[in-house]
């Protein structure tokens, strides 16, 4: 994949091209007018990872792209800064290099650096090595952490040394209220915080007036939507397969004083069977599924989308909120879902400017 070329004066043109592509690709479903949510044209990613390249005494951040002269090979691209990344990351990039360049204990066999930041300026830096990390490394790393005003994690094969904590706290203002999220190192979080804010506001809007019913959420991650939507429903039951994400989602419910939502660890496929009474166990019994009146389902699946069986399962709900990071798999799923439901709202979120990727939101309501 080519490294995005950020050119803010051209932002509107690239967004218009995406809008036209999505409108054309989904015209066969006769959706309502597309709602388009722009991203900041630069400095929009709150997390990034870079290879660290060593050339004799030189040290620099590197990414890779296809070599136009030899398409079968990739070339190293030196990065002095990275306009895709948030301003806090760009501030830290040169400072970190200067701090470790002449410190062998921190530099030797360091091959990758990962940044996780927030809009408020919290920063977590993960340093990844091709060697074991010892007490001497930890002493130097703690000094580095204090000098930079960040948190640091050291990683190597079968090692993970957390010097302070393994997460940051993001705070987003959504529809006049603050929501906070624990975002854990090396687990999935929404990379574009401003677009995440837009997605949460849109999802709240399309589910407003649902307090008489319950929400079931699949692939809930760290509770990103769960936290923001809970007040729109009587109760929420959310599921996720990642153990780390489930723990983080539960922490986020607690941090936001959400008392009407439960997060359970189970795959979407197993949960579908549990709803049909085909899968039991202690966890399912504790959820008391019979006490819920699920009127809405929210699904935010991986890029592959949903299989046909899962689409048929969704079709049993009156209302479907589908968040998609892949328009192609979304279109395939809509071929099934629109047999029973019609598209009531349709949105494009420019999560990844300067790339072909599009994030979409669809509200489907059961046909009369």
Answer yes or no: is pLDDT of 333 > 80: yes
pLDDT at residue 354 in the model: 95
Active site residue 325: yes
Establish if 184 belongs to a structural domain: no
- Shared domain for 151 and 223, answered yes or no, is no
Q: Which residues contact 69 (CB under 8 A, 6 or more apart)?
A: none
DSSP state at residue 157: T
Answer yes or no: is pLDDT of 250 > 90: yes
Mean pLDDT of the region 82-96: 97
Query: What range does the domain containing 227 cover?
Result: 8-42+192-366
**Cα(126)–Cα(102) distance, integer angstroms:** 19
- Shared domain for 213 and 356, answered yes or no, is yes
Answer yes or no: is pLDDT of 50 > 90: yes
Least confident segment among 248-262, 265-279, 311-325: 265-279
**Cα(152)–Cα(138) distance, integer angstroms:** 10
By percentage, how much of the chain surpasses pLDDT 70?
98
Q: What is the largest CA-CA distance in the chain?
A: 70
- Shared domain for 108 and 163, answered yes or no, is yes
Give the residue from 233, 337, 251 showing the smallest Cα distance to 292. Answer: 233
Establish if 209 belongs to a structural domain: yes
Domain count, the chain: 2
**Cα(338)–Cα(10) distance, integer angstroms:** 36
Answer yes or no: is pLDDT of 93 > 90: yes
- Shared domain for 268 and 206, answered yes or no, is yes
pLDDT at residue 244 in the model: 92
Mean pLDDT of the region 120-138: 97
pLDDT at residue 308 in the model: 84
CB 300 within 8 A of CB 225: yes
- Shared domain for 357 and 230, answered yes or no, is yes
- Shared domain for 78 and 142, answered yes or no, is yes
* Residues linked to residue 153 through DSSP beta bridges, in sequence order: 126, 162
pLDDT at residue 42 in the model: 97
10 Å Cβ neighbour count for 315?
A: 17
Give the residue from 262, 275, 344, 285 showing the smallest Cα distance to 309. Answer: 275
pLDDT at residue 189 in the model: 87
pLDDT at residue 1 in the model: 56
Answer yes or no: is pLDDT of 103 > 80: yes
Report the first-to-last Cα separation within the chain, whole angstroms: 45
Answer yes or no: is pLDDT of 60 > 90: yes
**Cα(70)–Cα(73) distance, integer angstroms:** 6
pLDDT-based confidence at residue 251 (cuts at 50, 70, 90)? very high
Q: At what angle do helices 11-25 and 327-337 cross, to 10 degrees?
A: 30
Establish if 186 belongs to a structural domain: no
- Report helix, strand or coil for 250: helix
Establish if 173 belongs to a structural domain: no
The active-site residue, picked from 170, 217, 240, 359, is: 359
Establish if 198 belongs to a structural domain: yes
Active site residue 278: no
- Shared domain for 354 and 241, answered yes or no, is yes
Answer yes or no: is pLDDT of 276 > 80: no
**Cα(338)–Cα(82) distance, integer angstroms:** 41
Mean pLDDT of the chain: 93
Answer yes or no: is pLDDT of 364 > 80: yes
Mean pLDDT of the region 124-130: 98
- Shared domain for 199 and 324, answered yes or no, is yes
- pTM given for the model: 0.93
- Report helix, strand or coil for 121: coil
pLDDT-based confidence at residue 309 (cuts at 50, 70, 90)? confident
pLDDT at residue 69 in the model: 76
| Residue bearing the bigger pLDDT, 353 or 66 | 353
Q: Are strands 35-37 and 341-349 parallel, antiparallel or unpaired?
A: parallel
The active-site residue, picked from 48, 325, 358, 360, is: 325
**Cα(180)–Cα(102) distance, integer angstroms:** 38
- Shared domain for 162 and 217, answered yes or no, is no
Mean pLDDT of the region 129-153: 97
**Cα(62)–Cα(115) distance, integer angstroms:** 14
Give the residue from 310, 278, 314, 266 showing the smallest Cα distance to 294. Answer: 314
CB 18 within 8 A of CB 352: no
| Residue pLDDT, tens place only, 286-308 | 778 888 899 999 999 888 888 88
Single residue among 112, 135, 168 that ends a domain in this structure: 168
pLDDT-based confidence at residue 155 (cuts at 50, 70, 90)? very high
**Cα(307)–Cα(305) distance, integer angstroms:** 7
pLDDT-based confidence at residue 281 (cuts at 50, 70, 90)? low
- Shared domain for 113 and 37, answered yes or no, is no
The CATH number assigned to the domain holding 322 equals 3.40.50.150
**Cα(61)–Cα(186) distance, integer angstroms:** 19
Establish if 174 belongs to a structural domain: no
- Shared domain for 211 and 106, answered yes or no, is no
The CATH number assigned to the domain holding 94 equals 2.40.50.1070
Reported as half-sphere exposure (CB side, CA atoms, 13 A), residue 89 has a value of 28
pLDDT at residue 279 in the model: 65
**Cα(297)–Cα(293) distance, integer angstroms:** 11
pLDDT-based confidence at residue 283 (cuts at 50, 70, 90)? confident
Establish if 175 belongs to a structural domain: no
- Shared domain for 142 and 268, answered yes or no, is no
Least confident segment among 60-64, 296-300, 302-306, 352-356: 302-306
* Residues linked to residue 170 through DSSP beta bridges, in sequence order: 181
| Residue bearing the bigger pLDDT, 306 or 53 | 53
């Amino acid at each position: 994949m080519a490294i995005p070329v950020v050119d803010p004066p051209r932002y509107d043109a690239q967004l218009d091209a995406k809008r036209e592509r999505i409108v054309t690709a989904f015209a066969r479903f006769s959706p309502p007018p597309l709602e388009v949510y722009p991203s900041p044209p630069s400095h929009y990613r709150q997390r990034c990872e870079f290879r660290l390249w060593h050339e004799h005494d030189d040290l620099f951040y590197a990414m890779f792209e296809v070599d136009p002269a030899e398409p079968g090979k990739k070339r190293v691209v030196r990065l002095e800064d990275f306009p895709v990344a948030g301003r806090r990351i760009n501030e830290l990039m040169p400072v970190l290099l200067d701090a470790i360049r002449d410190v062998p204990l921190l530099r030797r066999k360091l091959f990758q650096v990962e940044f996780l930041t927030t809009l408020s300026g919290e920063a977590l830096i993960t340093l990844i090595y091709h060697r074991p990390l010892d007490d001497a490394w930890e002493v130097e790393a703690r000094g580095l952490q204090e000098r930079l005003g960040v948190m640091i994690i050291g990683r190597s094969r079968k090692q993970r040394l957390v010097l302070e904590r393994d997460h940051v706290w993001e705070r987003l203002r959504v529809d006049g209220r603050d929501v906070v999220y624990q975002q854990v190192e090396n687990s999935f979080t929404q990379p574009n915080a401003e677009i995440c804010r837009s997605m949460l506001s849109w999802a709240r809007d399309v589910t407003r007036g649902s307090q008489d019913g319950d929400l079931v959420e699949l692939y809930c991650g760290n509770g990103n939507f769960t936290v923001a939507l809970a007040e729109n429903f009587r109760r929420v039951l959310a599921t996720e397969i990642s153990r780390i994400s489930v723990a983080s989602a539960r922490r986020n419910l607690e941090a936001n004083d959400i008392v009407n939502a439960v997060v359970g660890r189970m795959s979407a496929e197993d949960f579908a069977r549990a709803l049909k009474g085909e899968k039991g166990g202690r966890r399912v019994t504790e959820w008391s599924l019979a006490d819920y009146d699920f009127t809405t389902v929210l699904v935010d699946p991986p890029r592959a989308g949903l299989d046909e069986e899962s689409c048929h399962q969704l079709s049993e709900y009156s209302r479907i909120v589908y968040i998609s990071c892949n328009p192609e798999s979304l279109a395939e799923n809509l071929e099934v879902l629109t047999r029973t439901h019609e598209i009531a709202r349709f949105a494009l979120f420019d999560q990844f400017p300067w790339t072909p990727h599009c994030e979409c939101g669809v509200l489907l309501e059961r046909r009369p």
